[in-house]
Amino acid sequence: MILSDVFKHSEISRASEFRTNDADDPVVVQFAASNSQDLADAAVLVAPHCSAVDLNCGCPQKWAMHEGIGSALMEKPEQVSNMVRTVKEKVKLSGITLADGITPPSTSIKIRVHDDIRRTIDYVKLAEAAGVDWITVHGRTSKQRSASVKVNLDAIKTIKEQASVPIFANGDIFTREDADKTVRYTGVDGVMSARGLLENPALFAGFKTTPVHALEAYTRLAIGYGTNFFIMHHHLMMMTDKSMTKTEKKLFNCLPSSAAVVQYLDVNYGIEFSSRPNWPWVRSGNGEFLVGLE
C-alpha cells in the first residue's frame, strides 16, 4: 500500500517503493489516498509500468483511519466512486499506454464489509457505476481484527451474487485448500492472500509451509536487487516461522546483516550462495549485467 500523496511528490518514495521489470506481468499497484487528485496523479506515474491501479479502502490501522485513507473510505462511497472515475479519465487523457498495451488501466478497489451488508451492496453498485473493473472484498468490518474474528464468507457470497464485476475474496487464506474452499462456497472469481503469502509465498503451489527453494529464490532476488535488509530479514522471518523452533527463531531474528542471513541459511538450510550463475540478471540501460554477492 503506497501513499499516493507522498509518492507523487517524493522522488525518494518513487525510487524505493515501486520497482518492476519487463518480465514482471501482470503488476497491480495499490495506493492509499484520501482524494481523487493525489490518486490520479500517482496513477499516471505508474501507468506505463503496470496493468492496474488499486485503491485501498480496507486498511483498518488507526493511523490510516486518522489520515482519511484505508477503511475510513468505507464511510465515503461517493468519494470512492469519484476517485475511481478520476483515475480512469486522467490516465486516458494522458495518452499513456500501459505495460500490457491496455489504456486506460484497469482500476480496482479493495474494501471491507459493513455490519449491514446492504450498505456494502450499495457501495459496490456506486463503484461499478464509476467504472471499477473488479473489487476485492475482505470479509470483516473495519473494527474486526483478523486474530479474533473469522472472515464472513456469507457476506462475500452475497456481494458476489449482487455484483456485475469480478469479485475477489480476501481473509483467512493460508493454504491452497483455504483458497479452494472459499471459491467453492462464495462463487468468487478469485482470492487474495496477504498474511498467508507472507508466511508462505508457495501457498498457491500447494505447499503447506515455505519450501527451501522458495527461501533461496527470495534471498537471491532480494540481495540481487538491493532490497533493504530490514525488509528482507522481516520477510524471511515470516517465511521460516513454521519451520523453526523458538530457539532458532530467537537466533535468526537477531541476525544483524544480509551476510549473516546468507551464512545462517547456508549452515542450517543447506542453501549454497557462492555460485554466481544463479544470481538474477538485471537489465540496465547499457544492456544486461549480473548482480549478487562477490
- Between CA 76 and CA 87, with CA 81 as vertex, the angle to 5 degrees is 125
Beta bridge partners of 110: 56, 136
The answer on whether 61 is annotated among ligand-binding residues is no
Give how far Cα 10 sits from Cα of 7, 94, 156, 163, Å.
5, 21, 37, 37
Catalytic residue flag (residue 59): yes
Tell me if 188 sits within 8 A of 169, measured CB to CB.
Answer: yes
Picking from 214, 207, 170, 206, the residue whose alpha carbon sits closest to that of residue 188 is 170
The answer on whether 66 is annotated among ligand-binding residues is no
Selecting among 50, 57, 59, 254, the annotated active-site residue is 59
DSSP 223: H
Beta bridge partners of 192: 170
H helices of 54-211, in order, are 62-66, 77-94, 117-130, 153-162, 176-186, 195-199
Q: How far apart are CA 210 and CA 229, in angstroms?
A: 20
The answer on whether 145 is annotated among ligand-binding residues is no
- The full length of the chain comes to 294
The answer on whether 184 is annotated among ligand-binding residues is no
Phi/psi at 56 (nearest 5 deg)? -80, 115
Q: Could you list the residues known to form a binding site for FMN, using ranges.
A: 30, 138, 194-195
> Catalytic residue numbers?
59
